């Protein structure tokens, strides 16, 4: 049996492109024409849209192709964050999408899905979607973004390598076409991140690719209730389990913890005993902890605007190449987050009485990103660590189970967020969204049975120790404060859970609320972070107010 239709298809496409390009190199004004030549109707196409880096020029070009020539495209991309990525559906160029995260375009995506303008295949976690690139969702054509190309076509993807390796490898090794936009074409690149032999076409983009400073949190915005919740989490969880490796979500609550490691963390004896290895984007709020010697390593899925020079000065900590610059990798980072961390701690917009949590609202399709891979117990984990064993003891004590470990999955939330929106709700909006968008399942980000602790300014609910649904529910209501869900708690049951240490309040942990002041933050504003970094952190202008 012959099995070479894909190779033949590739040659057919390259033949059509031959007169449009100059070898591998394509002029900016020829890119739309080239795309019409190499993309065929009903192709699976990946236009690199990462959590941070965007192939924005190629995305714009794709939106300009003639839908009469090329249509019915099936788009696969991890993050939908630019308008052009959805324009192609309005214009009839593409009809279906499989993706992971759509934060910035979530509202429009939901409107288009309801109006039948876009077919959503599935919303994935990052690792799931990448895995499908190599199985049933392999791109026929991928459009990627790199910092530089040399004259042979080798690419340098640098600090924000992110998704590029999985996108290119899945495409190039299934006879697909690889198109790259680069910021610059130069004689010598710092290192080869993608070899020329895997790349078909290269175009110098009119502007540098778009990057979002997603991970910068201004310490000035951290409130005393966030600091109180951070103290509760640090004393009740970090100091108790001593997680050696961990991932932090991106909110202000975890930023508060990062800034309190050199102060409160030191006082609790965490230094050298916990928080040694991190899977984390280079959060600027980590600078004081790094400078204080808290951190041994950070592996990273992306980078952060303004952190480049600081990162380069810390080759023991960040993944730095022989050229001196960092290489991130979202696929490997997600793998670390899933298998190699003792603890995930993050936030959510809604939590229900069984602890299921979601960032979806009825009119907004937000997607999952990496949270479900971090926010779960990896059932395939077999290596042990003290935190993993301790959590396992609590989880399986008294059950008919061999000794097992357990990853800590912590939700750190304020009982109310934004303009007095309750975080704790009787029913997640995800159910309404499921009905509206016609999904097979409600888009729940982290299932209740994957969560080990919920921390609010009201205290900790240790769900590992709960043995029945009723106990779990009252433990969660017991830290839900003055939200309607919290007020509906059974006060006797909650006091009983408190006596058994399943609920711990600040006073149970010996925390004085008067100590919850901004004096505990090692840096109180962005300028302090620049000082800690000895001037190496160069914050984007929107964060500079001095």
Partner 1 sequence: MEHLEYTFKSSGGICKIRKIFSIVGVVASGNLEVMMERKNLDGGSHFVIDTSAQGFDEAWKAVITDFIERNKPSDLLVSINDNAASPAVVSMRLDQAFEDLTTE
Instruction: Tell me which residues touch partner 1 (CB under 8 A).
Output: 223-225, 228, 414-416, 420, 456-458, 481-482, 487, 506-507, 512-514, 516
**CB nearer partner 1, residue 469 or residue 482:** 482
In the complex, what is the shortest distance from the CB of residue 461 to partner 1, in angstroms, rounded to a whole number? 16
CA angle 210, 216, 222 (to 5 degrees): 150
**CB nearer partner 1, residue 180 or residue 229:** 229
In the complex, what is the shortest distance from the CB of residue 524 to partner 1, in angstroms, rounded to a whole number? 16
- Tokens representing 170? 């899945």
- Tokens representing 244? 């050696």
Task: Output DSSP code: residue 369.
Answer: B
Q: Does the CA dihedral 487-491-493-495 come out positive or negative?
A: positive
| Main-chain phi, psi angles of 512, to 5 degrees | -85, 125
In the complex, what is the shortest distance from the CB of residue 424 to partner 1, in angstroms, rounded to a whole number? 12
**CB nearer partner 1, residue 184 or residue 221:** 221
In the complex, what is the shortest distance from the CB of residue 528 to partner 1, in angstroms, rounded to a whole number? 21
Report the C-alpha gap between 354 and 447 in whole angstroms: 9
**CB nearer partner 1, residue 110 or residue 454:** 454
Residue 420: how many other CB atoms lie within 10 Å: 7
In the complex, what is the shortest distance from the CB of residue 484 to partner 1, in angstroms, rounded to a whole number? 10
In the complex, what is the shortest distance from the CB of residue 514 to partner 1, in angstroms, rounded to a whole number? 5
Q: What is the dihedral of CA 291, 295, 298, 304, to 10 degrees?
A: -30
Helix (H, G, I), strand (E, B) or coil at 245: strand
**CB nearer partner 1, residue 416 or residue 439:** 416
Pairing relationship of beta strands 416-417 and 459-462 according to DSSP bridges: unpaired
In the complex, what is the shortest distance from the CB of residue 83 to partner 1, in angstroms, rounded to a whole number? 33
Helix (H, G, I), strand (E, B) or coil at 247: strand
**CB nearer partner 1, residue 154 or residue 415:** 415
Q: Give the start-end residues of each E strand in 11-140.
A: 44-47, 73-79, 94-101, 119-123
**CB nearer partner 1, residue 52 or residue 225:** 225
- By 3-state DSSP, what share of the chain in percent is helix, strand and coil, each rounded to 5? 35, 20, 45
Nearest to 60 by CA among 237, 207, 278: 207
- Tokens representing 472? 């779990």
In the complex, what is the shortest distance from the CB of residue 482 to partner 1, in angstroms, rounded to a whole number? 4
Residue 228: how many other CB atoms lie within 10 Å: 22
In the complex, what is the shortest distance from the CB of residue 228 to partner 1, in angstroms, rounded to a whole number? 6
CA dist 74 to 141, 142, 181, 528, Å?
Answer: 11, 12, 21, 47
| Main-chain phi, psi angles of 364, to 5 degrees | -145, 120
**CB nearer partner 1, residue 221 or residue 272:** 221
**CB nearer partner 1, residue 4 or residue 507:** 507
């Amino acid at each position: 049996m012959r099995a070479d239709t894909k190779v033949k298809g590739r040659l057919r496409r390259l033949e059509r492109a031959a007169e449009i390009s100059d070898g591998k190199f394509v002029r900016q004004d020829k890119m739309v024409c080239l795309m019409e030549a190499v993309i065929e109707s009903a192709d699976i196409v990946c236009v690199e849209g990462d959590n941070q880096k965007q192939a924005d020029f190629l995305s714009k070009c794709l939106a300009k192709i003639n839908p009469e020539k090329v249509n019915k495209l099936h788009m696969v991309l991890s993050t939908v964050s630019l308008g052009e990525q959805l324009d192609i559906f309005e214009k009839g160029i593409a009809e279906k999408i499989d993706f992971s995260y759509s934060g910035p375009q979530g509202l429009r995506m939901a409107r288009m899905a309801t109006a039948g303008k876009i077919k959503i295949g599935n919303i994935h976690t990052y690792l799931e979607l990448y895995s499908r690139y190599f199985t049933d969702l392999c791109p026929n054509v991928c459009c990627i973004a790199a910092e530089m190309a040399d004259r042979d076509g080798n690419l340098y993807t640098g600090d924000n390598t992110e998704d590029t390796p999985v996108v290119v490898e899945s495409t190039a090794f299934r006879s697909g076409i690889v198109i790259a936009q680069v910021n610059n074409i130069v004689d010598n690149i710092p290192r080869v991140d993608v070899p020329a032999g895997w790349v078909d076409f290269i175009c110098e983009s009119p502007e540098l690719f778009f990057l979002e400073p997603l991970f910068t949190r201004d310490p000035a915005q951290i409130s005393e209730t966030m600091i109180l919740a951070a103290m509760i989490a640090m004393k009740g969880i970090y100091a108790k389990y001593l997680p050696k490796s961990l991932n932090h979500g991106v909110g202000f609550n975890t930023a508060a913890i990062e800034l309190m490691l050199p102060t409160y963390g030191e006082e609790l004896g965490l230094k050298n005993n916990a928080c040694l290895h991190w899977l984390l984007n280079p959060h600027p709020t980590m600078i004081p902890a790094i400078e204080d010697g808290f951190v041994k390593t950070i592996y990273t899925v992306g980078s952060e605007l303004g952190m480049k020079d600081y990162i380069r000065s810390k080759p023991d900590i960040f993944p730095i190449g022989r050229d001196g610059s960092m290489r991130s990798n979202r696929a490997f980072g997600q793998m670390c987050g899933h298998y190699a961390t003792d603890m995930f701690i993050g936030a959510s917009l809604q939590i229900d009485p069984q602890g299921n949590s979601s960032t979806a609202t009825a009119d907004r399709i937000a997607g999952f990103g990496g949270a479900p891979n971090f926010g779960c117990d990896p059932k395939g984990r077999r290596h042990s660590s003290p935190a993993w064993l301790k959590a396992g003891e609590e989880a399986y004590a008294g059950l008919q189970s061999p000794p097992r470990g357990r990853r800590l999955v912590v939700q750190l939330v304020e009982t109310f967020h934004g303009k007095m929106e309750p975080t704790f709700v009787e029913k997640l909006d995800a159910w309404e969204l499921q009905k509206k968008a016609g999904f097979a399942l409600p888009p729940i980000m982290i299932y209740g049975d994957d969560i080990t602790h919920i921390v609010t300014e009201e205290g900790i609910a240790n769900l590992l120790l709960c043995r029945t649904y009723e106990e779990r529910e009252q433990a969660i209501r017991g830290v839900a404060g003055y939200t309607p869900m919290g007020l509906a708690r059974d006060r006797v049951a909650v006091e009983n859970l408190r006596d058994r240490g399943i609920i711990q309040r600040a006073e149970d942990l010996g925390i004085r609320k008067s100590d919850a002041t901004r004096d505990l933050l090692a840096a109180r504003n962005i300028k302090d972070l620049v000082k800690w970094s000895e001037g190496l952190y160069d914050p984007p202008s929107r964060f500079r107010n001095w």
